[in-house]
Chain A
Amino acid sequence: MTWIVATASAERLNLQLQGRWVVAHAGDIRAALAALPEPGTGGLHIDVSHAAAFDLAGAWLLDDWLRSPIQAALPVSFEGELPDGLRLVRDTLGAGNRADQEQDKEHPFNPVRLLGETTIERVDDLRAGVRFVGRVAVTFARACVSLRRLRPISIVRHVWDTGFTAVPIVALVAFLISIIIAYLSATQLRAFGADIFVVDLVTVGVLRELGVLLTAIMIAGRSGSAFAAEIGSMKLNEEIDALDASGVDSTEVLILPRIIGLTIALPLLTFIADIVGLAGGALLCQQLLDMPLQQFINRASSAIAPTTFWVGIWKAPVFAVLIALSGCYRGLQVRGSSRELGRLTTMAVVQSIFLVLLADALFAVLFMEIDV
């Protein structure tokens, strides 16, 4: 396809534009312009009238190409009037306005600068996190004055959303994990003829650690993300501002019920996970080791100390507070765009799982020190 017919006459380059000079062909037109010979001292004479179409993109390409001959002070003339599109492009961009088209460049990569910026960012984030926890604590203390301000209906809704609807998946995961432990330990212990200790491993493992830990991780993925996304999209929609502007404390209405609701729901879910986990262990012992149910129960009740169950269950509210806090905190940080919402929801989940594991490690050390 020919876009330009160029003929030279007496040092002057005559250009006749052809075809459709529209945005759809901008790439080809640019290549055709770049392939033109350098205009001589006689300058340029351009005829646009033979082009089947000449839109703004075509005009811009021509104008852009004409910058260097015009800068070189070569005479540029047109057949007839200056084409409308070209006039519009020149009016829009203007001669003086070209300079500010240059973008201020980003700072070049500088490791020291990057390290400093990241450090400041992290410290600010930590400080804001502490401030958020403080605000929630103060709001909680104030709300404790009356039952109405604790929003019981809202709390019940969150117990339902985060607790009751999660029962099937939490039970399934607890069942599967107890089967995994029982199977793994059975194959190892059988070599020593110590089959009976499978019961110890399953019961103590599920009650002390795995029941609560896996439930907390499931809930972090399920409800931590939901909290961040709910609050984040409310933030984007200016609903949080609307609450605060109408004299309603958004922390009291949105954050507290979520934290309290999850703090109630997670211990209950942990209890269910414990029961299902033990049942799964009993079932596998029966199938795999031909151990009668009565023997499993006898062995289990001698294996677990009175504190074993409570050690697990007491961790649940702590994990719940950590999950709810990081979900709500990240949700409140959403600003401006849908991408932020996704980024902070992801961050909420990753962070709450990390915090749960960190807290569990600290608990393990603590419980060992105080010998329970």
Chain B
Amino acid sequence: MDSVMVNVQGIVNRFGSQLVHDGLDMQVQRGDVFGIVGGSGSGKSVLLRTILGLRRPQAGAVQLSGQDITTLNPVALRAAKAGYGVTFQHGALFSALTVRENIQLPMLEHLRLPLDVLDGLAMLKLRLVGLPANAADKYPSQLSGGMIKRAALARALALDPPLLFLDEPTSGLDPISAAAFDDLIAYLQHELALTVVMITHDLDSIFRTCNRVGVIVDRHMVVDDLARIVDHPHPWIQSYFHGVRGRRYAPPAPSTGVPHGT
């Protein structure tokens, strides 16, 4: 099987006169945890929407598991969308449905399953992301921020997709919950052999979970292994990893005085 799960080739995204991406390339290999970083307004969300097939780029190709989704017809695109799971920044749980119904919705739409199988699988996914069983019948408005993120992850995993997209999975969580969520992502990635693409601003998340990092600078993407990209000479990348907030990751580790907290 092809080992490139996501292959973005030379995409161009333009809004009016504003050029967001100008021939952006990005490859994600099977088993990668790929972090996308970039300044506010650098087009991370536009890139994600393009990869998900929610937005057609002005030029370029996006291949998911070898299929170019920019040229697919609507029926084939719908089938391709069953091949990945997504969580959105604010969870985007359906507020009129319970957590259980939220998890079951993709299964109901794409598959024909008996009711008890649906219930059993929803419960399994719920427990898999670390939610208690009694959360199943709650509505999103009754959940805390961390639980919403977990429930959204459970919904993204509903169809056992090999590919998972996460948009700022730890934003809005306290440092302890964020660390727990990072551990959950790493655990699931390992156990389910997932390929994960995540947009994040959280340096802790990147260092805890990612092995590859792509930085959007100047409408292009700089991709490298995590260990090497921190030494990339581009000024934005330098200030991102070695600025005030990133300083504690700077190699070599300082011997004294830098508290490891968040």
Contact = CB atoms under 8 A, between A and B. Distances in A.
B95 A339 contact: yes
A293 interface: no
Given A26-B111, A27-B113, A60-B120, A103 B137 contact: yes
A363 B191 CA distance: 73
B193 to A, nearest CB: 8
Given A27-B117, A339-B96, A88 B191 contact: yes
Given A23-B111, A339-B95, A93 B127 contact: yes
A64 B107 CA distance: 19
Contacts of A84: 191
Categorize the interface residue count of chain A: 20 to 34
B160 A55 contact: yes
A103 B133 CA distance: 8
Nearest to B114: A27
A234 to B, nearest CB: 15
B139 interface: yes
Nearest to B111: A24
B124 A23 contact: no
B124 A89 contact: yes
Interface in A85-108: 88-89, 92-93, 97, 100-101, 103
B127 A92 contact: yes
Contacts of B111: 23-24, 26-27
A30 interface: yes
A64 B132 CA distance: 19
Contact of B113 (A26, A89, A337): A26
A291 interface: no
B38 interface: no
A37 interface: no
A124 to B, nearest CB: 20
B136 interface: yes
Interface string A275-293: 0000000000000000000
B64 interface: no
Contacts of A60: 120-121, 124
Given A92-B128, A336-B95, A337-B95, A22 B121 contact: no
B260 interface: no
Contacts of B120: 60, 64
B192 interface: yes
Contact of B123 (A57, A88, A101): A101
B141 interface: yes
A30 B124 CA distance: 16
Interface in B68-118: 95-96, 107, 110-114, 117
Contact of A337 (B110, B128, B133, B141): B141
A334 to B, nearest CB: 11
Contacts of B191: 84, 88
Nearest to B137: A103
A336 B141 contact: yes
A57 B114 CA distance: 13
Contacts of B159: 23
Given A60-B124, A64-B120, A339-B96, A101 B139 contact: no
B112 A27 contact: yes
A338 interface: yes
A228 interface: no
Nearest to B96: A339
Contacts of A89: 124
Given A27-B117, A61-B117, A336-B95, A93 B137 contact: no
Contacts of B121: 23, 26, 57, 60
Q: Chain A interface secondary structure, helix, strand, loop or mixed?
A: helix
Interface string B148-188: 00000000000110000000000000000000000000000
Given A23-B160, A101-B133, A337-B141, A56 B107 contact: no
Contacts of A27: 111-114, 117
A113 interface: no
B35 interface: no
Contacts of A88: 128, 191-192
B16 to A, nearest CB: 28
A50 interface: no
A92 B157 CA distance: 14
B140 interface: yes
A92 B124 contact: yes
Contacts of B142: 336
Contacts of B160: 22-23, 55-57
B185 to A, nearest CB: 15
Residue among B96, B134, B141 facing the most chain A CB atoms (10 A cut-off): B96
Interface string A321-351: 0000000000000011111000000000000
Contacts of A55: 160
21 contacts: A23-B111, A23-B113, A26-B113, A27-B114, A27-B117, A56-B128, A61-B117, A88-B191, A88-B192, A97-B133, A100-B133, A103-B133, A103-B136, A335-B141, A336-B95, A336-B139, A336-B140, A337-B95, A337-B141, A338-B95, A338-B96
Interface of B: 95-96, 107, 110-114, 117, 120-121, 123-124, 127-128, 132-134, 136-137, 139-142, 159-160, 191-192
Q: Which 4 A-B pairs have the closest CB atoms?
A: A336-B141, A337-B95, A339-B96, A55-B160
Given A26-B117, A92-B128, A100-B133, 6 more contacts: A26-B121, A56-B128, A84-B191, A101-B123, A337-B139, A339-B96
